[in-house]
């Protein structure tokens, strides 16, 4: 099959999820062209397939650890002036080269390319679990539910099937909707998984001075911090530059993980059975939903702020509190078999 695979590049979660699935599809003989939809992707992403296109499309804008709606809309509108020709070229390419399938990992522009081209379109992400009644729903937040539902409908108005990977132990299916269990990531096979002497922190868009001030209250613990893309060590806090292999080495050998409530990093912490504490980014309803589900399932502790009190609560949890060991990753080959079945 020839597959056009669209990946949202706001953050690295969509990229790393797609890489897991794409690797299996390529091994099974499929020809994939990637479309990166959003901010410029990290360098390692370009090696995921032989050919790719980058569209500087929808871009989330943050200030002081919270999503800013008006800046996001303004930035995305400015980017939209340059993408019409690229979309037209992609539509022509789909028809000319006879692509068989379009996959969208929350990639708005690619979803529309698939619709216009009348090529079968599969929505494959985590975000659509928020729309589905097959997953846990956070109570209240009526306006947020409405806005998220509208955003998802605009992002992928019509798909032949929606698959959302979520914190569930078994597959759930209803008509064109599927909630799929966490997939095992084969890249973990290259690392020893054990509890070392440090915690990994991946909290983006938090002021470094504030982070260090909080961590000074825990002089007996060691912290390795990612997200600032710099190399510096002061006392028990070490900042490291962006590196997928370096991150995984520190991640798999950690005592626990402290992060935002993005789906990808929490999924990985569960796979390698690490104690987890999450702080959802403000105004990010998907992250609020993730945090609610993780706490409800006893997969993580949560807090609204990165604070001394929150970390004291997390670091003081007894062994056996977290239930991550109950969630074992499904083989990716099983997932691709299911993908073929739902897409005919």
pLDDT tens digits for range 84-110? 777 788 889 898 999 999 999 999 889
* Phi-psi map region of 171: left, alpha, beta (phi>0 left; psi -120 to 50 alpha): beta
Please indicate, yes or no, whether residues 322 and 239 belong to a single structural domain of this protein: yes
State the pLDDT at residue 237. Answer: 97
Query: Phi, psi at residue 115, to the nearest 5°?
Result: -65, -45
Quote the tokens at residue 140: 């209240």
The rounded distance, in Å, linking the Cα atoms of 150 and 156 is 10
pLDDT, greater one: 37 or 217: 217
State the pLDDT at residue 70. Answer: 44
Share of residues in the chain with pLDDT > 90 (%): 63
pLDDT bin (cut points 50, 70, 90) of residue 32 is very high
Say whether pLDDT at 69 is over 50: no
pLDDT bin (cut points 50, 70, 90) of residue 61 is very low
Please indicate, yes or no, whether residues 253 and 297 belong to a single structural domain of this protein: yes
Beta strands in the chain (DSSP E): 2-8, 31-37, 51-55, 62-63, 66-67, 101-105, 121-125, 161-165, 172-174, 177-180, 198-202, 222-226, 232-234, 237-239, 256-259, 276-278, 301-302
Mean pLDDT of 127-145: 86
Please indicate, yes or no, whether residues 171 and 228 belong to a single structural domain of this protein: no
Mean pLDDT of 21-33: 97
Instruction: Please write the tens of the pLDDT for every residue from 308-338.
Output: 999 999 998 877 788 888 888 999 999 999 9
Please indicate, yes or no, whether residues 171 and 214 belong to a single structural domain of this protein: no
Helices and strands, counts by H and E, the chain: 11, 17
* Phi-psi map region of 65: left, alpha, beta (phi>0 left; psi -120 to 50 alpha): left
| Residues sharing a CB contact under 8 Å with residue 63, sequence separation 6 or more, in sequence order | 71, 205
pLDDT, greater one: 78 or 12: 12
Instruction: Please write the tens of the pLDDT for every residue from 169-190.
Output: 999 999 999 999 999 999 999 9
Please indicate, yes or no, whether residues 166 and 200 belong to a single structural domain of this protein: no
CATH code of the domain in which 51 resides: 3.40.50.2000
Please indicate, yes or no, whether residues 191 and 178 belong to a single structural domain of this protein: no
pLDDT bin (cut points 50, 70, 90) of residue 197 is very high
State the pLDDT at residue 290. Answer: 96
State the pLDDT at residue 68. Answer: 57
Q: What is the mean pLDDT of the chain?
A: 89
Share of residues in the chain with pLDDT > 70 (%): 92
DSSP string, 222-260: EEEEESS---EEETTEEE----HHHHHHHHHT-SEEEE-
Please indicate, yes or no, whether residues 236 and 292 belong to a single structural domain of this protein: yes
Residue 3 near residue 314, CB atoms below 8 Å: no
DSSP 220: T
User: Which strands, in side-by-side order, build the sheet including 172-174?
Assistant: 51-55, 31-37, 2-8, 101-105, 121-125, 161-165, 177-180, 172-174
Please indicate, yes or no, whether residues 95 and 177 belong to a single structural domain of this protein: yes
- What is the separation of C-alpha 96 from the centre of its chain, rounded to a whole number of angstroms? 32
20, 23, 339 from 335: Cα distances, Å: 11, 12, 6
Domain containing residue 40: 2-182+330-342
Burial 230-268 (b: 16+ CB within 10 A, else e): eeeeeebbebbeeebeebbebbbbbbbbbbbbbbbbbbb
Say whether pLDDT at 18 is over 90: yes
State the pLDDT at residue 81. Answer: 58
Please indicate, yes or no, whether residues 250 and 110 belong to a single structural domain of this protein: no
Residue 137 near residue 38, CB atoms below 8 Å: no
Residue 158 near residue 115, CB atoms below 8 Å: yes
Say whether pLDDT at 275 is over 50: yes
Q: Which of 337, 8, 33, 15 is nearest to 178 (CA)?
A: 337
Number of domains in the chain: 2
The pTM of this model reads: 0.88
pLDDT, greater one: 121 or 64: 121
Say whether pLDDT at 306 is over 50: yes
pLDDT bin (cut points 50, 70, 90) of residue 64 is low
Residue 301 near residue 313, CB atoms below 8 Å: yes
Please indicate, yes or no, whether residues 268 and 201 belong to a single structural domain of this protein: yes
Residue 48 near residue 6, CB atoms below 8 Å: no
pLDDT bin (cut points 50, 70, 90) of residue 72 is very low
Please indicate, yes or no, whether residues 176 and 255 belong to a single structural domain of this protein: no
Please indicate, yes or no, whether residues 233 and 311 belong to a single structural domain of this protein: yes
The rounded distance, in Å, linking the Cα atoms of 9 and 7 is 6
């Amino acid at each position: 099959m020839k597959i056009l695979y669209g990946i949202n590049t706001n953050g690295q979660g969509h990229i790393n999820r797609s890489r897991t699935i794409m690797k299996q599809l390529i091994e099974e003989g499929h020809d994939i062209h990637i479309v990166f939809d959003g901010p410029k992707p990290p360098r390692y992403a370009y090696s995921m397939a032989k050919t790719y296109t980058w569209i500087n499309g929808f871009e989330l804008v943050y200030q002081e650890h919270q999503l800013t709606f008006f800046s996001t809309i303004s930035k995305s509108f400015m980017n939209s002036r340059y993408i019409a020709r690229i979309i037209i070229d992609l539509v022509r390419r789909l028809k000319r080269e006879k692509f068989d399938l379009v996959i969208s990992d929350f990639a708005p522009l690619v979803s529309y390319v698939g619709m216009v081209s009348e090529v079968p379109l599969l929505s494959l992400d985590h975000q659509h679990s928020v729309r589905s009644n097959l997953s846990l729903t956070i109570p209240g937040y009526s306006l947020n539910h409405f806005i998220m539902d509208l955003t998802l409908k605009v992002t992928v108005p019509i798909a032949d099937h929606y698959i959302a990977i979520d914190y569930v132990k078994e597959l759930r299916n209803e008509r064109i909707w599927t909630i799929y269990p966490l997939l095992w990531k084969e890249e973990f096979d290259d690392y020893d998984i054990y509890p070392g002497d440090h915690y990994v922190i991946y909290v983006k868009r938090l002021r470094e001075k504030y982070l260090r001030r909080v961590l000074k209250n825990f002089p007996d613990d060691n912290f390795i911090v990612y997200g600032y893309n710099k190399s510096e060590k002061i006392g028990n806090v070490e900042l490291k530059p962006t590196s997928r292999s370096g991150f995984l080495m520190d991640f798999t050998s950690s005592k626990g993980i402290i992060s935002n409530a993005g789906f990808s990093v929490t999924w990985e912490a569960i796979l390698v059975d690490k104690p987890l504490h999450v702080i959802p980014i403000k105004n990010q309803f998907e992250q609020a939903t993730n945090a609610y589900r993780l706490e409800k399932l006893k997969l993580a502790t949560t807090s609204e702020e990165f604070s001394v009190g929150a970390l004291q609560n997390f670091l003081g949890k007894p062994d056996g509190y977290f239930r991550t060991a109950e969630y074992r990753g499904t083989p990716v080959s099983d997932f691709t078999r299911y993908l073929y079945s739902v897409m005919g």
